[in-house]
Amino acid sequence: MKIAFIGYGQVGSPLADHLQRLGHDVLLAAHNPNSESVKKALARNSSLRVSAPRDAVAQAEVVFLATPFQANDAALKAVAEEIRGKILVDCTNPVGPNLSHGLNNVQSGSEMVQTLLPDTKVVKAFTIYGFENFVDSSYPDYNVKPVMIYCGNDSGAKKVVGELIAQLGWEPLDVGGLEQALHLEHMTLLWVRMVRVNGHSPHMVWAMLTRR
């Protein structure tokens, strides 16, 4: 599968690396192919391809958005035509002062992205943990996989994203429509407060246990 990354910092870079090693054709959408972020991503995996944003998105079947939230608007407007009708995996979170929700709990960031791109199939995923767990999602001492919760309005798009989640070693958990993204963003804030503020291990994940 051809996958483009808009944003390849602490979150995007390890995801791009793992997906390429799984056999996907991964492109970094770069205005400047000599930027530090591109160099760091290529140092992690030299098999990643680099292309101009519109070209990268035009080639891709799935696009990962992993920019700082405040950069989403400009980054997406620059590829609005190329991304039309495609799957967009929103890995971003709106964060406000003192680790509050950046949109005042009125709307999720993913719903804002969907409003900006009404013809794009937005799926919220890869947001409920810090970057450490995207570098390494394995927990071999346990008999359950860490869960990756995702949501979106298009069932076909969610099926594709769920398969990518499973390939990356997570237990996929579809929690419904894109209105659930607000709750996922609060889970992210909970994780960040627990880890970055209260000193819990960054190698802390959620799991789903089902009584049989």
**Per residue of the chain (212 residues), what is the pLDDT tens digit?**
999 999 999 999 999 999 999 999 999 999 999 999 999 999 999 999 999 999 999 999 999 999 999 999 999 999 999 999 999 999 999 999 999 999 999 999 999 999 999 999 999 999 999 999 999 999 999 999 999 999 999 999 999 999 999 999 999 999 999 999 999 999 999 999 999 999 999 999 999 999 98
Separation between Cα atoms, residue 82 and residue 60, nearest integer Å: 9
Count the Cβ atoms, other than its own, within 10 Å of residue 117.
Answer: 19
Task: Delineate the domains of the chain, giving CATH numbers in brackets.
Answer: 2-197 (3.40.50.720)
In terms of DSSP H, where are the helices of the chain? 12-21, 36-44, 53-59, 72-77, 109-116, 132-135, 155-167, 181-192
Strands 100-101 and 95-96: antiparallel
**The two three-digit tokens of residue 78, written as one number:** 């620059």
Query: Using CA atoms in the order 85, 101, 205, 172, what is the torsion angle rounded to 10 degrees?
Result: -20
Residues facing 95 on adjacent strands: 101
Number of neighbouring beta carbons within 10 Å of residue 184: 22
Nearest 5°: CA angle at 44, between 43 and 49? 80
